[in-house]
């Protein structure tokens, strides 16, 4: 992670494909894992390609599942906070190619480029020669499963490196697991009282990335987020989301939103 808030902002500009929470909100989780969602949107094509490449998608799925399970077994005693820290470092190493895949903003002088690089901390990264992306998945999963709020919110970003491999992009079972886990952890964060989780779940139902599109659920979660965060942006989003709904649907969504503000509430009860 960056050494301070300024460095964190610089790193976000420098790292190709780096996704942070603010970007997630602005782009409606378009890169919650770009590679993963791109693959998820073309599952049938992926299966067809795997056949042409001589790969059995079921065998690929079993291979990924076994790799994650083996990694999970090896890190089961790691404290959740430590697992998150390790996942953050390794995920960053994967996304940046160990600090080698760096894109600089245009129009900078040589001195400015050097200053940005030094401030970002990228030059100081100590990345292993080989990184097991499935272990990163297991670390993030372990931390999120154990109740670490940050791991639950950032899970898609932490594990997106898995989908850099062709094998993973062809693995429909892994893609399905990724989507289930991402939404499950967001729901756990929501039940723990996270307003951010409400927004991210709303964005997913609106964009249809990790779950099927559901305008009423998108509105309900956004309404609940607005109630909890008291954000002016919520009103703007609700106006936009409400255009796809009837007055009756909006009322039902608002009623469901009230239940979402209760820690034990589930996603059931709206959109039916």
Distances (CA, A) of 27 to 20, 156, 157, 245, 265: 11, 14, 14, 22, 27
CB atoms within 10 A of CB 263: 9
CB atoms within 10 A of CB 164: 14
Distance CA 26, CA 151 (A): 20
Under DSSP, the state recorded for 2 is -
Can you tell me which residue has the tokens 């599942």? 65
Q: pLDDT digits over 24-45, tens only?
A: 443 333 334 444 445 445 444 4
pLDDT at 259: 93
Task: Please return the burial class of 2, using the count of CB atoms within 10 Å of its CB with bins 0-12, 13-18 and 19+.
Answer: middle
Q: HEC profile for 228-253? A: HHCCHHHHHHHHHHHCCCCHHHHHHH
Q: pLDDT digits over 237-256, tens only?
A: 999 999 999 999 999 999 99
pLDDT bucket at 134, cuts 50 / 70 / 90: very high
State the pTM of this model. 0.72
Rounded (5°) CA angle 226-40-32: 40
Q: What CA dihedral angle connects 157, 158, 164 and 168, to 10 degrees?
A: -100
Residue 102's DSSP bridge partners are: 15
Q: Is the pLDDT of residue 165 over 60?
A: yes
Distance CA 215, CA 271 (A): 8
Distance CA 214, CA 204 (A): 9
Q: pLDDT digits over 198-245, tens only?
A: 999 999 999 998 999 999 999 999 999 999 987 789 999 999 999 999
């Amino acid at each position: 992670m960056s050494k301070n808030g300024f460095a964190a902002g610089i790193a976000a500009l420098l790292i190709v494909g780096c996704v942070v929470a603010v970007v997630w909100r602005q782009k409606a989780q378009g890169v919650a894992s770009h590679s993963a969602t791109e693959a998820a949107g073309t599952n049938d094509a992926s299966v067809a390609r795997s056949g042409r490449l001589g790969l059995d998608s079921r065998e690929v799925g079993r291979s990924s599942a076994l790799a994650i399970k083996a990694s999970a077994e090896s890190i089961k005693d790691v404290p959740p906070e430590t697992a998150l820290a390790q996942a953050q470092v390794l995920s960053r190493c994967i996304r940046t190619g160990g600090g080698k895949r760096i894109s600089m903003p245009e129009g900078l002088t040589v001195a400015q480029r050097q200053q940005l690089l030094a401030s970002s901390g990228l030059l100081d990264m100590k990345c292993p020669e080989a990184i097991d992306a499935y272990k990163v998945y297991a670390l993030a999963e372990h931390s999120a499963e154990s109740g670490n709020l940050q791991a639950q919110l950032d899970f898609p970003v932490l594990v997106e490196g898995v989908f850099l491999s062709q094998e993973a992009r062809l693995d429909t079972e892994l893609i399905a697991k990724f989507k289930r886990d991402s939404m499950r952890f967001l729901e756990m964060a929501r039940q723990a009282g996270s307003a951010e989780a409400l927004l991210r779940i709303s964005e997913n139902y609106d964009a249809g990335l990790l779950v099927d599109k559901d305008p009423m659920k998108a509105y309900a979660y956004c309404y609940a987020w607005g109630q909890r965060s008291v954000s002016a942006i919520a009103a703007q989003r609700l106006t936009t989301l409400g255009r796809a709904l009837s007055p009756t649907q909006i009322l039902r969504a608002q009623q469901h939103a009230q239940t979402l503000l209760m820690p034990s509430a589930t996603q059931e009860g709206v959109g039916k």
